[in-house]
Amino acid sequence: MNEVSVSELGVMNYGNMKGWPPLQQALCDLMNRTFAPQVDLNPSNLIILSGCSSIIDSLAFCICNPGEGVLIPQPSYAAFDNDLKARSHLVPVELPLSDRGEGIFEQLDDAVSRAQENGVKITALLITNPNNPLGTMYRDSTIEDMIQWCMNNKMHYISDEIYALSVHEPGMTFTSALCKVEAMIHKNKISRHEAKEYFHTIYGLSKDWCASGLRIGCLYSDNSHLQQAMNSLAPFGGVSNYQQQVLAEVLSDTTWTETFLTENIKTVRQSYDILTRGLDTMNIAYQPATAGIFLWADMRQFLTEASWEGERALWNSICDSCKVILTPGESCHAQEPGYFRICYASVLPRALEVMIERLGHFFNQKKA
């Protein structure tokens, strides 16, 4: 970024509040080159705001009414609660989704029925894929079933794909739900009108690009009414034209972006391997991850009691004794106490090794 020279004088003036056209184009091109190939993306339908929280907040405000519910598979990203509640006053509804056994349609129907019994009308389904906190990816058939269910029930499908380019399992890649939608349209499973109305994709630079401080989140939607509404809200969460112009030039450099992503994934995988080796040594079970920057660890064996109070006590002990901060499962709407989210990509490998050493000493004392 230090090498970029901005000569476009227009950056000093008011512009399109929902996105600087060069960055809209650069992001669409990036998506086409990577996780959304062969999808005809219209850059003017890409909305850019100050981070994905701003995107989710504004999107929720536009498509839902206060008191309505948004289905979110659990465990889930802890901050979704604030994103949906703070301004829009929505109800995040837990969805214990499994893509093994009972059909997806039945699970979603049951969740809607339970919500209705509690007086909550479901308006949308929010899916994070690759998943946070599990670090896994949904099966293609599961994504297609969820999209189909939303279109059948006239509900909004929100695809949060902020970890799209952080797949670190060798031989695996991520394909956007945008591609699934196009395939379903061509097979006449859903109509293009339904997709335009109810399907929305979120991406950003915070995770794949290690740039959470730049506050760049984007929403792609072909819904013209939503575009108009978001355009009215954009001035409250816009990004400076200057910053967008710089990022447009950076992301348009295909050689640099490919090199950066390759090195980033390599580094993330190295950190993941360090962490999992440490957990294996401590005999702590975990959900094997293929993407993202988190690991879901099972620490139920160390609870003094199988309750949320017991989980909070363990979390406090780890903070006090190890000076290590984990995300407790309760914050992620886990189904039972004792699970913790570990972020292995926010520190250098040596710091990760120190964390493992401290946790190992702590848990050995617990066992003694």
At 273-308, the pLDDT tens digits run 999 999 999 999 999 999 999 999 999 999 999 999
pLDDT of residue 185 exceeding 60 = yes
State the pLDDT at residue 3.
59
The three-class DSSP label of residue 327 is strand
pLDDT in tens, 85-137: 999 999 999 999 987 757 999 999 999 999 999 999 999 999 999 999 999 99
3-state secondary structure 31-52: HHHCCCCCCCCCHHHEEEECCH
Q: Is the pLDDT of residue 8 over 80?
A: no
Give residue-wise pLDDT tens across range 30-89.
Answer: 999 999 998 999 999 999 999 999 999 999 999 999 999 999 999 999 999 999 999 999
Predicted local confidence at residue 1, as pLDDT: 52
pLDDT at position 2: 55
Mean pLDDT of 226-235: 96
User: CA torsion angle for 115, 159, 285, 317 (degrees, to 10)?
Assistant: -70
Averaged pLDDT score across all residues of the chain: 95
Exposure string (b/e) for 94-115, b if CB count within 10 Å is 16 or more? bbebebeeeebeebbeebbeeb
DSSP tag of 345: S
Is residue 279 within a helix (H) or strand (E), and if so which, with residue range?
A: helix 254-281
What is the tens place of the pLDDT at every residue in 246-259? 999 999 999 999 99
Residue 264 clears pLDDT 70, i.e. is over it: yes
Q: What angle (nearest 5°) sits at the alpha carbon of residue 48, between those of residues 45 and 49?
A: 140
